[in-house]
């Protein structure tokens, strides 16, 4: 968990410094949509030299879980972006109640003693509900008397009616927005258990933390009118809003764990061997573009290129399938990142995946193997399927027919392997000498080089498709290669 840091000196330089926040509620694992929201906030903060604030919005006591909180921190830590300040809403309840009270005292909110509706299924969607009759108009004396007598109530915002008026704001992404108060219901500020609702807590904290830009999912676009009313009632300046298009599944429905499974969880990508840098790059491209056809970008390039103007307005499909849970673009970006990574660094990252697959390799060994598999991996976990034969003593059983070369037969395979055994036994195991020796051997046998190499490849790797032969032989070492060739000859 990140330590709460004091304001950096730069923050003292002025009240005009941008302040953005990411405010997840700990009611589930870190969702990729949330991760994208975090990233966009972070990029905006870094691009403008502002501050990034993490605020845990945990006012829903019923649904909060410790596991979920851990998952959020785990996911954010993996993204490796960091933040400047950290808060927890549940530490700030006094502030929320104080703001609610202030709104109530101004007459802009009222007590609603109607019991909470448990039977929402009964309600027909046809009705437009605005407020509970009798509650909005209740005289203050009666309201006070019932409250004093212990009747439970929710505190509701008294949305202006008769005359209704337009609530307006300008969204940095969606442009000018307006909605009549005639279409806004008297939303709750405090629940009957005294806990603040999301709307109240969020606005109170945004105001108190002097958030300058609220960058969040488009599902909040219509909620923003309510938030405008709260900011107005509180008498603070409104922040700027920027709503992000939603991430949806290939069928167009909202991403959800229940329907779409682990593909919506950030840790799934981490565990499969995505690199945070590639994953962040991928998420940035969902609903934002630098408008210059750039796609592969470093973190620094993203910070420099990011702008709210580059954000799109339509929902974005995360293109996963039942049998292939990862968006091909994400996989490609990851593979590109793997390919351009320094060998030592990649080798280091691969070690835990090797261990997770039940193999053993030390750092030096991994550094030796990595160049051979680097451009053959899309995800770090692929090391288990691409390099398995480097890690085992005895190869898993394979079909001896694989040993037979193109346009050849078992006799040719046998001749090639026997020649190889003899030749390799007398050869120094370095790439160039191996190549020279085996090419010479194929010439002596009067067969094509490819017909010579395939039986050897299958003999030492246990399959036809494998890394380049000479480097592989070198990495495997003479003893092991000769042993495997011997076993292959026996199979024929």
* Residues in region 38-67 near RNA by CB under 7 A: 57, 59-60, 63
> Cα 214–218–224 angle (5° rounding)?
55
Q: Which residue of 78, 83, 187, 279 would you call a contact of RNA, by CB under 7 A? A: 187
Instruction: Please state the closest distance from residue 16 (CB atom) to RNA, in A.
Output: 28
Based on the shown chain and the rule CB under 7 A, indicate whether residue 485 belongs to the binding site for RNA.
Answer: no
Residue in 295, 304, 348, 418 binding RNA, rule: CB under 7 A:
295
Segment contacting RNA by CB under 7 A, of 173-181, 258-266, 271-279, 407-415: 173-181
Q: How far is the CB of 106 from RNA (least distance, A)?
A: 20
Q: Is 132 in the site for RNA (CB under 7 A)?
A: yes
Q: Residues touching RNA: how many (CB under 7 A)?
A: 92
Q: Which CB atom, from 88 or from 363, has the smaller least distance to RNA?
A: 88
- 67-73 — which CB contacts under 8 Å span 24+ positions? 68/26, 68/27, 68/28, 68/29, 69/26, 71/28, 71/29, 71/30, 71/265, 71/267, 72/24, 72/26, 72/29, 72/30, 72/34, 73/1, 73/2
Q: Which CB, 300 or 465, lies closer to RNA?
A: 465
Neighbours of 105 (CB within 10 A): 9
Residue 183 touches RNA, criterion: CB under 7 A: yes
Cβ proximity of 75 and 267 under 8 Å:
yes
Using the rule CB under 7 A, give the single segment among 270-278, 356-364, 416-424, 451-459 that binds RNA. Answer: 451-459
d(CA 435, CA 450): 12
Q: Which of residues 2-41 bind RNA (CB under 7 A)?
A: 23, 25, 27
**Residue span binding RNA (CB under 7 A) among the ranges 8-16, 79-87, 176-184, 233-241:** 176-184
Q: Which two tokens stand for residue 461?
A: 């790797």
Q: Which residue of 8, 170, 253, 345 would you call a contact of RNA, by CB under 7 A?
A: 253
User: DSSP string covering 302-371, please?
Assistant: HHHH--GGGB--S-EE----SS--S-HHHHHHHHHHHHTS-HHHHHHHHHHHHHHTT----HHHHHHHHH
Among 227, 419, 457, 484, binds RNA (CB under 7 A): 457
Alpha carbon distance 109, 419 (integer Å): 92
Contact indicator for 454, 463 with CB cutoff of 8 Å: no
CA angle 402/370/328 to nearest 5° reads 80
The answer to whether 400 and 409 are in contact (CB under 8 A) is: no
From 65-73, 300-308, 349-357, 450-458, give the range in contact with RNA by CB under 7 A: 450-458
Least distance CB 454 / RNA (angstroms) = 6
3-state secondary structure of 220: helix
153 binds RNA per the rule CB under 7 A? yes
245 lies in the binding site for RNA (CB under 7 A): yes
* 314 near RNA (CB under 7 A): yes
* 421, 485 contact by CB (below 8 A): yes
Interface map 78-117 toward RNA (x if CB under 7 A): ----------------------------------x-xxxx
Report yes or no: 47 and 80 within 8 Å, Cβ to Cβ.
no
Q: What x/- string results for residues 192 through 231 when contact with RNA is judged by CB under 7 A? A: xx-x-xxx-xx---------------xxxxxx--------
Report if residue 315 touches RNA, rule: CB under 7 A: yes
Tokens of 448: 């094509």
Query: Per CB under 7 A, does 430 bind RNA?
Result: no
**Shortest Å, Cβ 426 to RNA:** 20
Residue 259 binds to RNA (criterion: CB under 7 A)? no
94 phi/psi in degrees, rounded to 5: -60, -40
Instruction: Out of 75, 239, 273, 287, name the contact with RNA by CB under 7 A.
Output: 287
């Amino acid at each position: 968990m990140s330590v709460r840091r004091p304001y950096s000196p730069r923050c003292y330089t002025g009240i005009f410094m941008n302040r953005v926040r990411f405010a997840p509620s700990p009611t589930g694992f870190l969702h990729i949509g949330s991760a994208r929201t975090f990233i966009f906030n972070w990029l905006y903060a870094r691009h403008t030299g502002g501050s990034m604030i993490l605020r845990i919005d945990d006012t829903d006591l019923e649904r909060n879980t410790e596991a979920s909180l851990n998952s959020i921190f785990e996911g954010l830590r993996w993204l490796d972006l960091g933040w400047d300040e950290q808060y927890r809403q549940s530490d700030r309840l006094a502030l929320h109640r104080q703001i609610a009270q202030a709104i109530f005292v101004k007459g802009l909110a009222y007590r609603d003693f109607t019991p909470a509706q448990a039977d929402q299924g009964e309600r027909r969607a046809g009705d437009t509900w605005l407020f509970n009759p009798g509650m909005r108009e209740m005289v203050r004396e009666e309201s006070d008397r019932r409250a004093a007598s212990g009747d439970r109530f929710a505190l509701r915002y008294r949305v202006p009616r008769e005359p209704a008026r337009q609530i307006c704001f300008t969204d940095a992404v969606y442009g000018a927005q307006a909605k009549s108060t005639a279409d806004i219901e008297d939303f709750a500020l405090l629940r009957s258990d005294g806990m603040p609702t999301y709307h109240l807590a969020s606005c109170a904290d945004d105001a108190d933390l002097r958030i300058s830009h609220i960058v969040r999912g488009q599902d909040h676009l219509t909620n923003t009118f309510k938030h405008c009313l709260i900011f107005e009632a509180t008498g603070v300046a409104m922040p700027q809003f920027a709503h992000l298009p939603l991430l949806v599944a290939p069928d167009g429905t909202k991403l959800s764990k229940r329907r779409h499974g682990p593909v919506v969880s950030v840790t799934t990508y981490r565990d499969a061997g995505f690199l945070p840098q590639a994953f962040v790059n991928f998420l940035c491209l969902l609903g934002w573009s630098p408008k210059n056809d750039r796609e592969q970008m470093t973190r620094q390039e993203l910070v420099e290129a990011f702008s709210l103007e580059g954000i799109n307005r339509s929902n974005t499909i995360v293109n996963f399938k039942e049998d292939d849970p990862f968006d091909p673009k994400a996989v490609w970006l990851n593979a590109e990142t793997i390919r351009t990574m320094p060998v030592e660094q990649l080798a280091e990252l691969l070690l835990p995946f090797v261990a997770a697959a039940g193999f053993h390799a030390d750092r030096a060994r991994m550094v030796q193997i990595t160049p051979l598999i680097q451009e053959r991996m899309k995800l770090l976990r692929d090391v288990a399927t691409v390099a398995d034969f480097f890690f085992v003593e005895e190869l898993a059983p394979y079909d001896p027919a694989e040993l037979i070369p193109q346009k050849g037969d078992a006799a040719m395979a046998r001749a090639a392997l026997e020649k190889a055994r003899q030749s390799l036994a007398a050869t120094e195991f370095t790439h160039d000498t191996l190549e020279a020796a085996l090419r010479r051997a194929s010439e002596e046998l009067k067969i094509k080089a490819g017909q010579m190499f395939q039986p050897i490849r299958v003999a030492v790797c246990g399959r036809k498709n494998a890394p380049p032969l000479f480097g592989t032989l070198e990495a495997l070492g003479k003893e092991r290669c000769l042993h495997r060739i011997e076993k292959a000859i026996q199979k024929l």
